[in-house]
Chain A
C-alpha cells in the first residue's frame, strides 16, 4: 500500500522509509502472540498452583494450632485425672491407716491400760506397716507414755506435733496432722495420724502414728504422676508434705502464695504462678478429703505445657507468611498475565485499526479527498496533506503525514465572501449536531480562488457530550464549479442573446416597419385628399378609408408584437414605467385590477436585473391568469442598499404548498410549475432567490430577492 503510493508519487524519501518499518512492525506483532500464549499457559498453571497452595498452607497451619491446643488440653485433663487419682489413693491410704489406728485405739490393752501388751501390739502393727515410723501414745496433757522408738520404760517428753494433738483433744475425733516440727525423740519431721482413745466417755489417751517423711512421697510416687508433671502434696497449713522432685530440700517448707490462694478459693482447679524452681508453672490441684486440708498439686512449666502450641503458632505464622508470599507472587503473575493479554489485545486492535485506517486512507486518497479534524475550542485543525493542499495551508508543523494549522489562519485563506457562511455552518453543526456540507472558495497558491467542498460532522463518540470537534473531508470541486459556472455563463449569454435579439426585432418593428406603415397611412390620407379634391366619391374613397383603417390596425399590431417581444420602455424609461404599463395593459385586457408600488428611490437598476424582474412579473401574471382566479394583483419593487426585493401578490385561490402548485379544483390539469422554474432559472443567473408563500384560499405571494451592487456602481 505504502509502496504503491510512493510509486505514484515517484519518491522514496525519509517518511517512506518510516512507513516501511511501520508495516514490518505489524508483521512481527502477528507472530509474537503465539509464543506469548504458551509461556502464558505455564504461568497460568503456576498461578493456579499458587492459588491452591495458599488455602492448604493456611488450613494446615490452623489445624496444627488446633491440634496443639487439643494436646495441651489433653495433657491438662490427664493431669487433672492424675490429681484426682492420686488424691483418692492418698485419701484411701490415709483412711485405711486411720482405720487400723482406730482399731488399735479400741484395743483391750488400753482398757486398764496394759502398756506392755499395747507395746507388743503396736510393735506388731508397725511391722505390718512399713511406712509407719513410730507409734506413740500420749496422755491428754500431751506427755508421751509409749513410743515405739524407745523402750517401754524410758522417760519420754511431750509429743512433737502439738497442733494436731490439740485438735484431737478438742474434737475427740481422729485427726490427720500436717508435717510437724522436728520430734525430740526421732529428731525428724513427721506427719502424725492421731486418734483419741476414749473409755467410758472420757478421753484417756491419744494414739498417734508418725509417718516416715518419705511415706507420703512414696504414696504419691506409687499413685504415679503424669510424665513431665511435678507432683506436690501440701498439708492444711500450706507446708509441703511430699514432692516428686527435689523432695529433700522442699519438705516442710511452706508452699508459694499462689498455691495457698488457690486452695482458699476452691477445693480443686487450676492456677499458675512462679514455681519453686523458678519458671512459671501451670498447676492442677485437688484437695483431699478426710486429711485435714491436704491437697495434691501437679505443676508443669508454662513453657513446657505451651511448647507445642507455641510451635504450632510458629508453624501458622510461617504458613501465613508463606501464603502471603505466594499471594504476592500470584498477584504478580496474574497482573503480568493480564498486562500481556491486554498488550496482545491492543496489538490486535491496533492492527485491525491500522488496517481499517489503511482502507479508509486508500478510499480517501483514491477520491483525492483531504481529511480533517477541526477542534473549534482550541482553534486548531489537523488535516492530511491533501486537506492542507486543498485548504491552502502553509505547512506550519508537520506531524508524520498530517499537517496542523491554526483555525483562524485557515479561515483567513477562505474567500471573504464565503468565510462568514462557513463559520456559521460550523457553529450550527456543533450546536445542533447537524451534518456540515459547505462549498467555499480558498485562496490558492497562485492567488487564484479555488472551490472546495467540506463535508463533516461531530464524531459519533462525542454526540452525547457537548464537543467542539468536527471530523470532515475536503474535496476539490473546482472542476465541477468551473463547469457549473460555464453552464451559468452560457445560460446567461443565451438569455442575453435572446433579449438582445428580441430587443433588436422590437426596435426593427418600431423603427422600420412601424415607420413604413406610418408612411403608408400618410400616403393613403394624401390619396384620400386627392380623390376628394377630384370629386371622386363612393366606392374608391370607401376603399381608401378601409385601407387607412387597415394600416392603423397594422401599426397597432406591430406595436403590440414589439412590446411583447420586449418593451422599448424598459430600455428607454426603466423598470418602473415598463412595469406600470405592463400592469395597466394587463388589467385593462383581463379586467383584474393591479397595483404597483416602488417604495424608495426610483433610480435605474442594472439592465439585467430590470429585465429579469420584468420577465418574472410577466410570468407571474401569466400564472395568475391561468390558475389563481385572483381579484387583484399587487406588485412592489423595493431597492435596498444591498439588494432588490420584489413581491408579487395575488388574492386568488392559492394552492397547497405541500402538494405542489396547481389549483385545488383542477388538480393535475394545470402546472404553473414551469413558470416557477423559469423564474428560478432566471434568478439563479443573478444569484437571486425566490420564496413562495401560499395556502389554499389565501392567495399566492412571490418574494424575489436579487443582490445588487451599491447604487454608485
Chain B
C-alpha cells in the first residue's frame, strides 16, 4: 500500500517540528514537503501534488481561506486538512465551502492528526469532535419558521402589514405611526400573526419576510 504523501504548511517551527515528529512515527504517512508561509505552501503543494496538505489558517502572506480556495482551484488533486488553533465555528463553514475537507484543532492534533489525514486521503471529511458538536448544534433550531407559515391560518391584511413592517426592521412605534393604530394594537397584531405562522422571534419573521420577497424593495436598491 502506498504511503499517503503529505505536505505541511505552518509558520510556527515548533508546530512543524511537532507534526513532523508525530507523522514520522506513522508508517502509512510520508511527509514530503514543508512550507513556512502561504505563498511557499501554494508553490510546494502545486509542485509536489501531495495527497493531503495540512495547512494553518493564519499564516503570513496568503491567509488560510485564500490558500484553500487557490489550492482547490489550482491543484484539485490535493485534499486539504485545516489545522488551526481557532476553536471558532465561524471558520469552519467558510473553509469547507472554499474546498477544505477537514478541520482539526491543534490542541487535539497530537492525538487525531494521523486519523484525520487518513480519513481525508480516503476521500472523506474530517471535523474535530470539539468543533463538530458546535457546528452541528443549531441553537436557532434550524430553518423553522420560514416555511411553516404556509400551512398555518391565513393572516388578516392588517396582520400581514404589521408583519411585513416588522420584517423590514421597523419598531412597533414606527409601525403604529405608519399605519395609524396604537402601539398596543401593533403588538397584538404581531403576536397574533406570529402565532398563526408559528414564528417566535423577529429573526424568524425576517426570514419569513425574505422568503416572501418583502425585503427586496429595501435591499435591492
Contact = CB atoms under 8 A, between A and B. Distances in A.
A binds B: yes
B107 A647 contact: no
Interface string B172-214: 1100000000000001000000000000111110110110000
Contacts of B106: 514-515, 518, 521, 555
A607 interface: no
Contact of A638 (B87, B111, B141, B218): B218
Interface stretch (B16-24, B28-36, B68-76, B117-125): B16-24
A693 B139 contact: no
Given A556-B87, A577-B93, A587-B139, A636 B21 contact: no
A600 B107 contact: no
13 contacts: A514-B85, A515-B14, A522-B15, A523-B21, A526-B22, A563-B88, A588-B137, A599-B209, A634-B204, A636-B206, A638-B218, A638-B219, A649-B202
Contact of B110 (A522, A556, A558, A698): A522
Nearest to A578: B90
A534 to B, nearest CB: 14
A551 B105 CA distance: 13
Contacts of A587: 139
A640 B15 CA distance: 44
B105 to A, nearest CB: 8
A693 B207 contact: no
B162 interface: no
Interface string B98-129: 00000001111111000000000000000000
A525 B219 contact: no
Nearest to B24: A526
A111 B90 CA distance: 186
Nearest to B141: A593
A651 interface: yes
B86 A516 contact: no
Contact of B204 (A519, A581, A595): A595
Interface in A449-470: none
Interface of A: 510-511, 514-519, 521-526, 529, 548, 551-552, 555-556, 558-560, 563, 567-569, 572-573, 577-578, 580-581, 583-585, 587-588, 593-597, 599-601, 632-636, 638-641, 645, 647, 649, 651, 691, 693, 698, 701, 703
A519 B110 CA distance: 9
Give the dominant DSSP class at A's interface: helix
Contacts of B200: 632, 651
A487 to B, nearest CB: 30
A518 B109 contact: yes
A152 B221 CA distance: 165
A569 B106 CA distance: 17
Contacts of A581: 88-90
B58 interface: yes
Contacts of B218: 599-600, 638, 640
B90 A577 contact: yes
8 smallest beta-carbon distances between A and B, as pairs: A522-B18, A519-B14, A587-B139, A555-B107, A600-B219, A634-B201, A525-B110, A595-B203
A638 B110 contact: no
A552 B130 CA distance: 11
A518 B90 contact: no
Nearest to A522: B18
B110 A585 contact: no
A488 B14 CA distance: 44
B61 interface: no
A558 B58 CA distance: 16
B160 interface: no
A572 B85 CA distance: 14
Contact of A584 (B18, B134, B171): B134
A632 B201 CA distance: 7
Nearest to A638: B169
Nearest to B21: A526
B10 to A, nearest CB: 8
B140 A595 contact: yes
B45 interface: no
A519 B18 contact: yes
A594 B17 CA distance: 42
Given A518-B107, A525-B111, A595-B140, 20 more contacts: A525-B18, A526-B25, A559-B86, A569-B86, A569-B88, A572-B57, A572-B65, A581-B90, A583-B139, A584-B134, A587-B139, A588-B134, A588-B137, A593-B141, A597-B210, A599-B218, A600-B219, A636-B169, A638-B169, A651-B201
B126 to A, nearest CB: 18
Contacts of B187: 698
Given A519-B12, A519-B17, A522-B15, A555 B86 contact: no
B203 A597 contact: yes
Contact of B88 (A517, A519, A568, A645): A568
Contacts of B65: 572-573
A522 B139 contact: no
Contact of A510 (B22, B86, B130, B169): B86
A510 B85 contact: yes
A636 B111 CA distance: 39
A510 B85 CA distance: 6
Given A524-B110, A703-B171, A635 B203 contact: yes
Contact of A568 (B15, B58, B140): B58
Nearest to B19: A522
Nearest to B56: A515
A649 B15 contact: no
Given A522-B109, A572-B63, A584-B137, A645 B169 contact: yes
A526 B14 contact: no
A556 B107 contact: yes
B204 A515 contact: no
B203 A596 contact: yes
Contacts of A594: 139-140
A573 B21 CA distance: 32
Contacts of A596: 140, 203
Contacts of B85: 510-511, 514-515, 518, 555, 558-559
A577 B94 contact: yes
B91 A577 contact: yes
Nearest to A548: B110
B107 A521 contact: yes
A584 B25 CA distance: 38
A634 B14 contact: no
B46 interface: no
B155 interface: no
By CB atoms of chain B within 10 A, which of A569, A597, A651, A693 has the most? A597
Contacts of A515: 12, 14-15, 85, 106
A536 B50 CA distance: 36
A520 to B, nearest CB: 8
A247 B180 CA distance: 119
B90 A580 contact: yes
B139 A647 contact: no
Interface string B43-69: 000000000000001100001010000
B14 to A, nearest CB: 3
A638 B166 CA distance: 13
Nearest to B218: A640
B85 to A, nearest CB: 4
A318 to B, nearest CB: 84
Contacts of B137: 584, 588
Interface centre among A526, A560, A595 (most CB of B within 10 A): A595
Nearest to A511: B58
A645 B91 CA distance: 25
A516 B202 contact: no
Nearest to A640: B218
Contacts of A569: 86, 88, 90-91
